[in-house]
Structure 1
Amino acid sequence: MKPTHQDLKLSLIEASKQLSTQTVMFHQAVAAYLGLNITDHKCVDFILSKGRVTAGQLAEWTGLTTGAITSVLNRLEKAGFICRAKDPGDLRVVYAEPVYSQLHAIKEVFAPLNAAMLDLYSKYDQDQLETILDYILHSNQILRNLIEDLRKPAAE
């Protein structure tokens, strides 16, 4: 018997929860493999996605204090994944930048995932891939909104 629309929605919720858990566990394993904690690992991800960031930007995106971010950056710099560089236009601004020559371990650990995902995507046609992408983009926006809501001070 074909599942109902409601059954499919409930299955999607359950599958999404499982995907979220597996994603967290994967990134925890990656962090451990790289000798990092998961927060440091995801901060490297932010830095790589932007090219360079300030401690204040990382604090804003992660919800961590600037003091905690300073500790993250110290650990990442010690591990060789990032360096700090002053903005030549404003020496008060310090950026965390990736040290691309030191990122081979990160590339190696993600290569099997990238290959497996590309293989998975090849099973879907153009329309299906567009639907999957739409789902992921909207899911990301929902999560960003919920994060923002959770970070708001409680109403008095």
Structure 2
Amino acid sequence: MTDPTDPTGPPPPPEPGPGPGLRTVHQLRALTVELDLLAAAFAQRHGLHPTDLRALIALLDAAREGTPATPGRLGRELGLNSAGTTAVLDRLERLGHVRRARDPHDRRRVLLEVTERAVALGQGFFGPLIGDAVALVDGLSEAERATVLGFLAAMREIVTRHSGTAGG
């Protein structure tokens, strides 16, 4: 019998590597880091704060959904109070990326719109990445696409659930 405390004995067997779940989490983390770096490069190149970029994305998402974008909705989505939301909108408007307009049906309400200039900047920078990603997804079978979409939706739910408990 080998004495485990004997330094001349055989080394312990190596621990097994991470399983597929942990390898997938590590790939997601690596992807997130790369996307964050890319977004930071875009923001820096165009004089934007990271929150400004998040605001533009939120406004573009609202437009794609056909949902009116208002300062209140934007503030809730970004987790900002009224003053913070106004500061973001002032910066974006000053840079020519956002327009504020009165709602023609309710003059008390302000609607927000991303300008064509901002859309063109985003497409110029992110367009090739988006094109490559679309081509990758288009090359998948219908079943693979359904699996990927289901996985991403479930991961988003998990992250959203945990974001309320982060840091505490």
Tell me the TM-score range normalised by the shorter chain.
Answer: 0.7 to 0.9
Pick from 77, 85, 99: which aligns with 1:69?
A: 85
State the partner residue of 2:70: 54
State the distance in 1 between where 2:158 and 2:35 align. Answer: 17
With over 3 angstroms needed to count, the CA separation of the structure-2 counterparts of 1:120 and 1:78, relative to structure 1, is same
State the distance in 1 between where 2:84 and 2:140 align. Answer: 42
State the partner residue of 1:44: 56
State the identity as a percent. 24
CA RMSD in angstroms, aligned pairs only = 2.1
Residues 96 and 117, structure 2, Cα contact 8 Å, conserved in 1: no
Q: CA deviation at 1:94?
A: 1.1
Query: Where do residues 1-156 of structure 1 align in structure 2 (5 Å cutoff)?
Result: 7-51=19-63, 52-147=68-163, 149-150=164-165
With over 3 angstroms needed to count, the CA separation of the structure-2 counterparts of 1:78 and 1:106, relative to structure 1, is same
Q: Which amino acid aligns with 1:127?
A: A
State the distance in 2 between where 1:7 and 1:39 align. Answer: 36
Q: CA deviation at 1:123?
A: 4.3
Structure 1 residue matching 2:48: 3-state secondary structure:
coil
State the distance in 1 between where 2:112 and 2:51 align. Answer: 15
Structure 2 residue matching 1:53: 3-state secondary structure:
coil
Higher helix share: 1
Q: CA deviation at 1:121?
A: 2.3
Structure 1 residue matching 2:19: 3-state secondary structure:
helix
State the distance in 1 between where 2:26 and 2:69 align. Answer: 35
Residues 54 and 96, structure 1, Cα contact 8 Å, conserved in 2: yes
**For this pair of structures, how many residues does the alignment match?**
147
Residues 54 and 93, structure 1, Cα contact 8 Å, conserved in 2: yes
Stretches of structure 1 that go unaligned for 5 or more consecutive residues are none
Residues 28 and 38, structure 1, Cα contact 8 Å, conserved in 2: yes
**Rg bigger for which structure?**
2
Residues 34 and 106, structure 1, Cα contact 8 Å, conserved in 2: no
TM-score normalised by length of structure 1: 0.83
Stretches of structure 2 that go unaligned for 5 or more consecutive residues are 1-15
